[in-house]
Chains A and B, each alone.
Chain A
Amino acid sequence: MNKFDKEQILHTSGVNVLKCMRCGKCSATCPSYDEMEYHPHQFVYMVEKGDIEKLMASKSIYKCLSCYACVERCPRGVEPAKVVEAVRLQVIRRQGANHLTPDDIPALLDEDLPQQAIVTAMRKYSK
C-alpha cells in the first residue's frame, strides 16, 4: 500500500472515499465500462485500500471520458470521476523529468506567446 500516493490522491481529488457504500451505481452508469480494466467503483475501492500502483499502470485512467455520469448518479456524493482524474494527475506528476519546472518558463517566453498561455503554464507547472 502506497500511503503517500493515497493521501496525494485524496488531497487532489478532494473525495472522501469512505462515503462509498458499494452500490456500484457509478459503474452501472458508466459508458466506458467495457473499455476499462478497472471500473469507477473499483477506483474508489482501490484508492481506499491504497492499491494505487495498479490503477496508475492501467489504461483505464485514459478510458474515463470525464462525463461525470458517475458523479451525477452517486447517491452518496462520492464523485468517482474526480478520483480517476486524481490518479491521472498522479501519473503526470511522476513523469516530472518530461516536464518543465517553473524556473524554466521565463527563458522560453517570447513576445508572441499569449498572456493566458503563460498564466496557464505557471499554474500547471508550479503545482
Chain B
Amino acid sequence: MQEVMLEKAKELLQSGAVDRVLGWKAGEFAYDITPCVFASAQELEAGFVYNDFCGNNLSKYLIKESRKGGKVLAFLKPCDTYSFNQLIKEHRIVRENVLVVGVPCQGMTDGETLKAKGVKGILGIKTEGEDFVINTLYGDRTMAKKDALPERCLSCKSKKHVVYDELLGQEGDKLDSGRFDLVNKLEAMDPEERFAFWRGELSRCIRCNACRNVCPACSCEKCVFDNDASGVAQKAAADSFEENMFHIIRAFHVAGRCTDCGECSRVCPQNIPLHLLNRKFIKDINTLYGDYQAGEDTVSRAPLTNFTEGDAEPSIVTKGGKKA
C-alpha cells in the first residue's frame, strides 16, 4: 500500500493537482511515526511511510493546512474520515483545498503496546494475515493482531470511509465490535468501585495536554483551560478535583462531536483510558436520544444542539430509572 500511495502522491504533485501532501513520516525509530507535510517528490521519497504504526489521525492538521492556500492531498484512514467530516461540519476545514484519498486500515499498533508485550529493538513491521510480523534486532517475531492491537482498534467502529475523493484499496464496512463493552462493565460496578477506578486512573494525569492537543474535536482557537478569564484556567492539576474537572469538562466539550477515534488514549503517556469517558457520552446519547455517530455526515444536528419535546428527564440519572 505504501508504494501505491507514494506513486499516487507523486503523480498528483507532478500534475499540479495538489501542492502538498499530508501523510506520515518515519521517525528515529521505526515506531515513532509522525504526521508530516511533504512539498515535493524528493521529500516523499525520503520520508513517506504507511505501515502498521501509522495510527495518527491526520484530520486535525487540515484545519491549518487547508487554510494555507493551494491544495493539499490528505491520506485518511476510515477513522480519520469521521473526524474530517466533523471538522467540515464545524466549518474548520476548507473542503475545496483538500483532496481526500481514502486508505485502508486493518488496525494500527504502536511501540508502547509492543514494548509492553516484551518486544524489543523494533526495526519494522508488516502484516501477514491475522498476524503482525515484527522485525527486531533479535530477528522476526510474529504476534497475533488481537494481542498486539490497542483497545480502540480491537473495538473498531468502522472500516468504511465516510468521505473521500479517491479511494485506494478495498472499501470496508461499518462494524459492530462491542465498543461499549468496557463502558457497560464500568456502569455495572457500584459507585464506590467506579470512584476508585477513576481515581486510580485520573490521579495519574500529569496535565501534559497531549490528549487535548491530539484530539480533532479539541481544536479551539483558545482552550478554556488556557484562558485566564474563563475562571477555570489551570496549568497543572494541583488537586484531585482539578484532575477530575479537566477531564469532565474536556469530555463534555467534545460530547456529540467526538468521533471516537481514540487518539486521546493512544497519546496519553500515563495510559489513562480517556476514550472511555468519551464513549460514555456517546453511549448515553445513543440510548437517550437515538443513535448518533459524529462525523458520519456534514449536515445533521449534533445531539447537544438539538432536542425533542419528549426527551428523557435528568431524573433518569439522579433518581434511577432505566439506567439505575
**Are A and B in contact, CB atoms below 8 Å, in the complex?**
no
Chain A residues at the B interface, C-beta cutoff of 8 Å: none
Chain B residues at the A interface, C-beta cutoff of 8 Å: none
